[in-house]
């Protein structure tokens, strides 16, 4: 199953529909979807390295647009926002993040550089009625740094790593899942 999913993503990343799929995933992830756009960005850069910066720009721009949606959900649809956070297992993190907003303000949005759900930051920013223009500046900076950084690293080191990833797909997937679990555990521990 893992091999089939990997091959499907690699085929999609080389198709003419790849930029649209990347944009849709980036918009959705910033407001309600659980899968980060890196799953499309990385193979797209590997298959078409000459388009690295274009793909990074699509990913960052779409993520920012999705972030506006997440902010709007939190700001104007609080009951739905609370339900969405609970449905995605992030309701406990909301309490912690609100406290961090009160303490650190704009600095909290820098967490968007980490592989934590960006929708958590966008929705809670809206729920906290964080100043919209400050949110936009911070979101633009962090999403640009994140996706241009990922794209640049993949462009530079990805081609040498691709054969290793393909040979040891289960191990690489396990490491990625373990890293995500450690980050989520860290977020949970920090909010205590």
Domain containing 163 equals 2-190
pLDDT at 53: 97
pLDDT at 18: 87
Joined together, the tokens standing for residue 132 give: 């919209």
Query: How many domains does the chain divide into?
Result: 1
The end-to-end CA distance of the chain, in Å, is 37
pLDDT at 4: 62
pLDDT at 57: 97
The Cα 128–Cα 105 span in angstroms is 10
pLDDT in tens, the chain (192 residues): 555 655 666 677 778 888 998 998 899 888 877 778 888 888 889 888 999 999 999 999 999 999 999 999 999 998 998 888 888 777 777 777 777 777 777 677 777 776 677 888 888 889 888 889 988 998 999 899 989 988 998 898 876 765 555 555 455 455 555 555 555 555 555 555
**Model pTM greater than 0.85?**
no
Q: How far is CA 131 from CA 40, 127, 138, in A?
A: 31, 11, 11
In the block, residue with structure tokens 């040979």:
167
Question: What would you report as the CA-atom Rg of the chain, rounded to the nearest whole angstrom?
Answer: 17
pLDDT at 60: 96
Q: How many CB atoms lie within 10 A of CB 99?
A: 12
The Cα 13–Cα 125 span in angstroms is 32
| Cβ pair 47, 11 in contact under 8 A | no
What's 77's DSSP letter? -
| Cβ pair 40, 18 in contact under 8 A | yes
pLDDT at 169: 46
| Cβ pair 90, 117 in contact under 8 A | yes
């Amino acid at each position: 199953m893992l091999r089939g999913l990997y091959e499907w993503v690699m085929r999609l990343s080389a198709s003419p529909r790849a930029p649209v799929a990347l944009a849709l995933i980036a918009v959705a992830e910033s407001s309600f979807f659980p899968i980060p756009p890196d799953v499309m960005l990385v193979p797209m850069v590997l298959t078409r390295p000459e388009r690295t910066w274009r793909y990074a720009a699509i990913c960052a721009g779409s993520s920012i647009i999705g972030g506006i949606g997440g902010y709007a959900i939190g700001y104007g649809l609080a009951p739905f926002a609370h339900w969405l956070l609970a449905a995605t297992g992030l309701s406990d993190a909301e309490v912690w993040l609100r406290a961090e907003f009160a303490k650190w303000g704009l600095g909290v949005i820098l967490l968007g550089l980490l592989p934590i759900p960006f929708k958590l930051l966008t929705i809670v920013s809206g729920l906290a009625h964080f100043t919209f223009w400050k949110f936009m500046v911070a979101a633009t900076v962090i999403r640009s740094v994140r996706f241009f950084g990922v794209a640049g690293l993949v462009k530079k080191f990805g081609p040498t790593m691709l054969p290793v990833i393909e040979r040891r797909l289960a191990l690489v997937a396990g490491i990625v899942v373990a890293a995500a679990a450690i980050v989520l555990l860290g977020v949970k521990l920090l909010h205590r």
